[in-house]
Amino acid sequence: MQPVFFLLSCTMPTTLNLVHFNDVYHISPKKKEPVGGAARFATAINNHLDSLNKKGPDGDHWVLFSGDVFSPSMESSITRGNHMVPIMNQLHIAASLAGNHDFDFGVPNLQKLIGETSFPWLLSNILDEATGEPPEGLGQFLVLKGRKSGIKVGIIGLVEKEWIVTIPNFPPNLKYHSASDKARDLSRTLRDPSGPHAVDIVVALTHMRLQNDLIFAQETAGEVDLVLGGHDHFYYVSKSLALSGPDWSRDRNIAAQRGTDPEPGEPDPRVRVVKSGTDFRELSFVKIVVGDPVGEGRREVVEVEVTRQEITSTLAEHPPTAAIIAQVTTLVSAKTSRPIGYTCTPLDGLFSTVRTRESNLGNLTADLMQHAYATCIPTGVDFAICNGGVLRGDAIIDKGVITLGDIMNFFPFEDPVVVIRISGARVLAALENSFAEYPKQEGRFPQVAGLRIEWDPKGEPGARVRKVLVTKSNGDSHHGGERQHPSGLLAPPTGRPAPLPSQPQGEPLDLEREYVLATREYMAQGGDGFTSLVTPPQDYIVDGENGMLISALFRRYFLGLKYVNAMRTHFEHECTTHKRVVEAAHVWRLHAKNKRARGLQAAAGPESGTESGTETPSGTEISESGSGAETDASSVKGGEEGTDGAAHSTTKGGICDALTHSVKGRPCCLRGVHGSMTGEDVEDTKFMRKCEEVVAELGGEKSEEVKRESKETEEGQEEKGEEEDVVRWVREWASVGPVVEGRIVEVAEQ
C-alpha cells in the first residue's frame, strides 16, 4: 500500500517515534500465531528502542499505553491486578491511560497499583467534583520533551462516557467531562507559547469505541494531532495515515468496523486514529514527522506512518520479563490454596446436579451475577440466567473453607457477565431452550436468580415451561425494597439463613414487557442454543468488553463479606466518627495484646503481605466478638429461624447500609466493599485509614515490635498459627450459608 501524505509543505522535518499498545490481559503466550505473551512483547519493544537509540536527532521515542491492564484475567481474579505491575514496569512506558477494567477492583486498588508502577498515569476527563482534578495518582496531562530533537509533546488521556456507567459503584464524586471539550481546552493550554508548557504537538490516548474515537478525532482536528486508542480489541489505522511493515489488510478491517473514517481528500482528512489490537499480540510503531513551526504554539504534523508489529514465536523471550512471568505463575498457583471464604453448607456443583436441576452453587452464582451490576442500573437487574455448564468443577465444595482454587476450578471461563434488555417472550424462549435437552446432562440447563420456574420434564422439548414468576427481590436496589422479600440469599456470618418467604412471591413473566437480564456473554452470543438471547448492540447495558468474570465476582464477594463483617464486628455504627476511630484503635490495641499473649502471628493479620493493604482492617480478630461463628450449619438448615439482624442492623447509610445488608446475608453487601464503593463508603475508607493512623499513634502495635516477635516464633508454629487464623477468620467474616432454593421446580402435567 502506498503511503498517503496529507500535507506536503515543510523544510526541516523532525521525526518522533511512538510505540503504542492497549488492552493487555494474558501474560503467557497463546498456541496460535501471533502467540503474543508479555516476554516476547518486551523483546519487540526493546529491539525497536535499541534501533532508535542508535539514530541521531530522529531517534526520540516514547512508549504509550491506552488502558486496560489490571483485569480481567484468571490471574487478576487472584491478584487483583498486582501481577501486572512488574511486567508493565519492564516495558519502558512513558505514559499510560486508565481504562475501564483498571477500575474493576475499585479506585483505591487502582491507586495502589498505580503507586507501584514506574510510569505516570493519565485520566483527563474524569474529575473529582471537589478538586477539579482526576483521582489521586492520575494526571490530566503530561509533557514529554525529546532529548535529541527538543520537541515537546503534550500527552492527554480521554475516555468515553459509555463505560463509566458499567462500573459497579463508580465513585459518584468522579464526574465525566466531554472528551472533545476537555481535549480542546488542554490542547490550548499546553500549546500556549507564553504558557509554562509550550508544546509543539498534542497526542491523545483514548479508551473508547472506534466510533467515538472517530467523532473525537473530527471534533478535535487541529487541536489533537494523533489519537492512540484502546478499549476495542481489533487493529485499526485511519486511512489518512501511512502504513508500512508486514502485510495487513486495512481495508477489510475498516469495512468490518463500518466506521465513519473519511477517505483521504474528503472534508476532514486529519482524522488520525490508531488502535493497536490486544493482549500482547500486536503493537504499533508510529513515526511522526513534524514540520517547522506554523504559527502560534504549533508545529504541523507532516506525516504519520504506522507499522503494525505482530508478536510471533520467532521473537525471543525477554529473560527478565520471562522470569517475572514464571514467578507470577508460581505465586498464582500458591495462592489458589488460600482460603477466601467459608461455607456453612456443602455447595453442590456436580455435573449431574447443575445440568439437571437447581443447585445451591448455581443459585449463588446467579445471585452474584444479578447483583454485580445492580447499582449501575437505576431499575436494578430483574433476574439472572446462567447455564449449568458454566460450573466446570463437577464436584461438591464441602462444608468448610472455600479456596481460590475452588473458585478457579469451577469458573475457568473467561467470558464475562453481560447485562441486556430483553422481552419476556425471548426470556421464555431461552428457558425452553434450557430445558429442551433434559434428561441429557447438557450445559444449557439453567441456574437462575430472581425467577421461580415451574417446568414439566415430561413435556415436549420446547414446551416444558409451565409457569415463570419474576421474584426480583434479591435485589438490592437503591430503594430498599429487598427487605420485604429476601429470596436468593446467603446466610449472615453466623450461618443463619434469612427467612424464606412462606409462599413464592412475584409476578408472572410478562411476554410483552422488557426486562433487564444478567447472563453470560457466551449465552448472549447464542451459545448452547440460546439463540433467543442474541442481542443487538443497542440493547446491551453492560457488554462483553465491560463485563466482569464470574471468578472475579466470587472474589469480590468474599472480600466484601470480610470487609463489612470486620467493620461490623469492630464498630458501634451509630457513634460519631471520632468516637469510632478511638474505639477502633482501642480494639486493635486489645487485639494486638491478645495476640502477643497467645504467641500467635502478629496483628498484621493472616492475609497481610499477600493482599492489598487497603482492603480491610486486616486480620483484626477479637476473641470477645461473639459472632456466633460456631453455629453448626446442621442446626440452621431449612431457614426457618429469623435473622440476627436486629442485633446489628441499627445503622443508616453508607457502610452502615452495607453492614445491614450483610446481616441479611445478601450479595448486595458488595455495595459496601472497597472493590466497589459508594460515596459514603469512600468516606469510610478514609475512616479506615484514619483508624490505622490512630493505631499507629497509640503505640504502633502493627509495627516493628510485633513483626520482630513473630519472627522469633518458630517457623512451623508460626505457619500453623497463621493457617488456623485464616480459617477462623474466613469462617467468622466470609461465610456463606444455605442459599434459598425453590427457584426451579419440577411439576407433573395434570
CB of 65 to Zn ion, least distance (A): 12
Nearest by Cα to 488 from 476, 478, 479, 480: 476
CB of 737 to Zn ion, least distance (A): 36
Which residue number, 348 or 543, has a Cβ lying nearer to Zn ion? 543
CB of 166 to Zn ion, least distance (A): 10
Which residue number, 66 or 140, has a Cβ lying nearer to Zn ion? 66
CB of 100 to Zn ion, least distance (A): 4
CB of 625 to Zn ion, least distance (A): 41
Applying the rule CB under 5 A, the residues between 14 and 73 that interact with Zn ion are 68
Which residue number, 100 or 612, has a Cβ lying nearer to Zn ion? 100
CB of 647 to Zn ion, least distance (A): 43
Binding mask 548-587 for Zn ion (x = CB under 5 A): ----------------------------------------
Spell 4-35 as b/e; 16+ CB within 10 A means b: bebeeebeebbbbbbbbbbbbbbbbbeeeebb
Which residue number, 68 or 317, has a Cβ lying nearer to Zn ion? 68
CB of 134 to Zn ion, least distance (A): 17
Applying the rule CB under 5 A, the residues between 195 and 234 that interact with Zn ion are 231
The total of other beta-carbon atoms located within 10 Å of residue 256's CB is 11
Which residue number, 230 or 380, has a Cβ lying nearer to Zn ion? 230
The burial class, CB within 10 Å (0-12 / 13-18 / 19+), for 374 is buried
Residue type, 391: L
Distance CA 566, CA 560 (A): 10
Q: Are 584 and 616 in contact (CB under 8 A)?
A: no
First-residue to last-residue Cα distance in the chain: 71
Residue with cell 421464555: 428
Which residue number, 201 or 273, has a Cβ lying nearer to Zn ion? 273
Which residue number, 544 or 679, has a Cβ lying nearer to Zn ion? 544
- Residue with CB nearest Zn ion? 231
The reply to whether 102 sits near Zn ion by the rule CB under 5 A is no
514-520, strands of its sheet edge to edge: 446-449, 383-387, 514-520, 417-423, 540-542
Which residue number, 68 or 279, has a Cβ lying nearer to Zn ion? 68
CB of 27 to Zn ion, least distance (A): 18
Distance CA 538, CA 420 (A): 9
Residue type, 466: R
Which residue number, 164 or 350, has a Cβ lying nearer to Zn ion? 164
Which residue number, 100 or 649, has a Cβ lying nearer to Zn ion? 100
CB of 79 to Zn ion, least distance (A): 19
Nearest by Cα to 340 from 606, 547, 555, 188: 555
Range in contact with Zn ion (rule: CB under 5 A) among 3-11, 97-105, 245-253, 321-329: 97-105
CB of 542 to Zn ion, least distance (A): 12
CB of 386 to Zn ion, least distance (A): 23
Using CB under 5 A as the binding criterion, the count of chain residues that bind Zn ion stands at 4
Distance CA 105, CA 555 (A): 10
Range in contact with Zn ion (rule: CB under 5 A) among 91-99, 165-173, 607-615, 727-735: 91-99
- The DSSP bridge partners found for residue 421 are 516
Three cell numbers, residue 671? 455495595
Applying the rule CB under 5 A, the residues between 281 and 340 that interact with Zn ion are none
Q: Which of 96, 100, 433, 447 binds Zn ion (CB under 5 A)?
A: 100
What are the residues whose beta carbons fall under 8 Å from the beta carbon of 222, sequence distance 6 or more? 270
Which residue number, 158 or 490, has a Cβ lying nearer to Zn ion? 158
Q: What is the CA radius of gyration of the chain?
A: 27
Applying the rule CB under 5 A, the residues between 150 and 179 that interact with Zn ion are none
Which residue number, 27 or 691, has a Cβ lying nearer to Zn ion? 27
Which residue number, 280 or 588, has a Cβ lying nearer to Zn ion? 280
Q: Are 288 and 151 in contact (CB under 8 A)?
A: no
Which residue number, 162 or 185, has a Cβ lying nearer to Zn ion? 162
CB of 367 to Zn ion, least distance (A): 26
CB of 230 to Zn ion, least distance (A): 6
CB of 548 to Zn ion, least distance (A): 12
Which residue number, 100 or 631, has a Cβ lying nearer to Zn ion? 100
What are the residues whose beta carbons fall under 8 Å from the beta carbon of 537, sequence distance 6 or more? 543
Which helix (H) or strand (E) is 38 found in, with range? helix 38-53
CA within 13 Å, CB half, 455: 27
* 3-state class (DSSP) for residue 399: coil
Distance CA 334, CA 327 (A): 10
What are the residues whose beta carbons fall under 8 Å from the beta carbon of 207, sequence distance 6 or more? 22, 66, 67, 68, 97, 98, 99, 100, 157, 158, 159, 160, 163, 229, 230, 231
Prior bond of 34 cis (ω within 30°): yes
Which residue number, 68 or 305, has a Cβ lying nearer to Zn ion? 68
Give the pairing type, strands 201-208 and 226-231. Answer: parallel
User: What number of helices (H) and strands (E) belong to the chain?
Assistant: 20, 29
CB of 643 to Zn ion, least distance (A): 39
Q: Which of 29, 99, 262, 606 binds Zn ion (CB under 5 A)?
A: 99
Distance CA 332, CA 81 (A): 12
Q: Are 358 and 449 in contact (CB under 8 A)?
A: no
Range in contact with Zn ion (rule: CB under 5 A) among 98-106, 395-403, 451-459, 608-616: 98-106
Q: Are 629 and 494 in contact (CB under 8 A)?
A: yes
Range in contact with Zn ion (rule: CB under 5 A) among 94-102, 300-308, 323-331, 468-476: 94-102
Applying the rule CB under 5 A, the residues between 111 and 140 that interact with Zn ion are none
CB of 473 to Zn ion, least distance (A): 32
* 3-state class (DSSP) for residue 607: coil
Binding site for Zn ion (CB under 5 A): 68, 99-100, 231
